[in-house]
């Protein structure tokens, strides 16, 4: 999380909008400095889908989060909720709302889906909540008012640090009876007899992406005797973990930073009558967390991943490179890391540094599937 975040600096100069109010904070939060600005509120509830964000905000309050897809931390009048927008437990944790503060994400459908899901909280006892939309101009801040078009009256309130602030209220909601519209929901994905429901914001909306399809093909061809424990790292909607469960692998752990991904994976596991364990964490689980999982020898037999890089290549490459370097410590001596990446990313060089043996199982002009082993 960034220390000097322009959005937080712009909010600070508009701090009077949230002081002594019951505030609900949504969207893409990039700095723990937000917590300082929430101290003078009457109450504040922060909802985030990002586990790193949630744990950092909770740490400011001296609180620790667990590793499920739904976690809550609170101190005095401030609450942090790590949850998927579709999780029915989320509205139950949100009290009266006087003002909705939205940090606009570059992927606006995440904001739209969350606002749609929680909109009944914005109109309690006939009083319409106020709304503040704040976003970087290069992430859709200039057009953020479109999120509440037809339901709230908003106007441009401030502009600074290449960010825009809109201010208004949900004054049209009660009068018109027309609520916020949801984003376009992605279609289900069918893979080898599995039906996988999708959620807004997950990678590869409404289809199985080419890299993951190639990875599954390679793993199925290479694993002659499927067994576990297996780590599906960056699980998304659970396609890798559930496909391996269908093959006969056991003790499958699906991890992701996103509460939405973990929630979707749990729902898809239940729908397809398969068993996996979901775990909120950033990249590899820590050794302490592996011990808590009671895995055989506290190690995985296989790690299977299509590591994310769509949040920005430079940033994500660094995270994936660190994961590759640390992966041997999470594998049993006879284990293997299966990884697919865009061929141009050249993960092979990083794998060669960390592992004794590295094979290219499938290579196309666009994707390469690697198998890396310790011996």
DSSP 22: E
pTM higher than 0.85: yes
Torsion of CA 96, 108, 240, 374, to 10 degrees: -100
Highest mean predicted confidence (pLDDT) among 143-152, 218-227, 336-345: 336-345
Q: What is the CA radius of gyration of the chain?
A: 22
Judged against a pLDDT cut of 50, whether residue 305 lies above it is answered with: yes
Q: Are 260 and 234 in contact (CB under 8 A)?
A: no
Please calculate the CA angle 287-231-216 and round it to the nearest 5 degrees.
160
Reported as a single tens digit per residue, the pLDDT across 160-219 is 999 999 999 998 765 555 688 899 888 999 999 999 999 988 876 667 899 999 999 999
SS3 331: strand
Do the strands 277-280 and 252-256 form a parallel or antiparallel pair, or are they unpaired?
parallel
Residue 189, number of CB atoms within 10 A of its CB: 21
243: which residues sit within 8 A by CB, 6+ positions away? Answer: 191, 192, 194, 216, 220
Task: Establish whether domains 6-176 and 189-373 are of one fold.
Answer: yes
Q: Any alpha helices (H) in the chain, and if so which ranges?
A: 6-13, 34-38, 51-60, 108-118, 171-176, 210-222, 239-247, 259-271, 287-292, 313-326, 347-354
16: which residues sit within 8 A by CB, 6+ positions away? Answer: none
**Per-residue confidence (pLDDT) for residue 315, from 0 to 100:** 47
Q: Are 129 and 220 in contact (CB under 8 A)?
A: no
Distance of CA 214 to the CA centre of its chain: 24
**Per-residue confidence (pLDDT) for residue 333, from 0 to 100:** 94
Cα distance between residue 67 and residue 46, in whole Å: 18
Dihedral of alpha carbons 108, 112, 113, 118, sign: positive
Cα distance between residue 240 and residue 250, in whole Å: 13
Q: For domain 189-373, give the CATH superfamily.
A: Vaccinia Virus protein VP39 (3.40.50.150)
Reported as a single tens digit per residue, the pLDDT across 207-217 is 789 999 999 99
For the chain, what are the domain ranges?
Answer: 6-176, 189-373
Judged against a pLDDT cut of 80, whether residue 2 lies above it is answered with: no
6-176: CATH number? 3.40.50.150
Cα distance between residue 287 and residue 168, in whole Å: 48
Cα distance between residue 56 and residue 237, in whole Å: 25
Reported as a single tens digit per residue, the pLDDT across 61-83 is 999 999 999 999 999 999 999 99
């Amino acid at each position: 999380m960034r220390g000097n975040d322009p959005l937080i600096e712009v909010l600070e100069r508009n701090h009077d909008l949230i002081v002594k109010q019951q505030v609900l904070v949504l969207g893409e939060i990039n700095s723990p400095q937000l917590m300082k600005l929430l101290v003078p509120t009457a109450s504040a509830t922060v909802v985030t889908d990002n586990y790193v964000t949630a744990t950092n905000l909770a740490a400011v309050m001296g609180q620790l989060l667990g590793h499920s897809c739904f976690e809550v931390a609170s101190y005095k009048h401030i609450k942090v909720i790590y949850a998927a927008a579709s999780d029915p437990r989320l509205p139950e944790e949100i009290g009266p709302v006087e003002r909705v503060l939205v940090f606009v994400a570059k992927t606006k459908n995440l904001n739209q889906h969350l606002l749609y899901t929680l909109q009944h909280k914005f109109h309690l006892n006939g009083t319409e909540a106020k709304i503040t939309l704040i976003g970087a101009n290069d992430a859709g801040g200039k057009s953020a008012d479109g999120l509440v078009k037809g339901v709230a009256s908003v106007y441009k309130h401030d502009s600074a640090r290449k960010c825009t602030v809109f201010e208004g209220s949900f004054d049209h909601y009660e009068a018109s009876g027309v609520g916020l519209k949801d984003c376009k929901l992605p279609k289900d994905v069918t893979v080898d007899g599995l039906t996988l429901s999708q959620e807004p914001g997950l990678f590869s909306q409404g289809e199985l992406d080419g890299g993951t399809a190639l990875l599954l093909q390679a793993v199925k061809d290479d694993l002659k005797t499927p067994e576990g424990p297996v780590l599906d790292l960056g699980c998304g909607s659970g396609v890798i973990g559930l496909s391996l469960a269908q093959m006969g692998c056991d003790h499958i752990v699906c991890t992701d930073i996103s509460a939405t991904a973990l929630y979707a994976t749990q729902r898809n596991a239940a729908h397809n009558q398969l068993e996996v364990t979901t775990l909120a964490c950033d990249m590899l689980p820590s050794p302490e967390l592996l011990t808590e999982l009671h895995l055989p020898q506290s190690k995985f037999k296989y790690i299977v991943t299509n590591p994310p890089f769509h949040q920005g290549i430079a940033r994500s490459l660094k995270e994936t490179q660190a994961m590759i370097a640390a992966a041997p410590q999470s594998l049993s001596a006879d284990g293997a890391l299966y990884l697919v990446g865009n061929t141009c990313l050249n993960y092979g060089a990083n794998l060669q540094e960390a592992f004794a043996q590295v094979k290219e199982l499938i290579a196309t002009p666009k994707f390469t599937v690697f198998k890396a082993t310790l011996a």
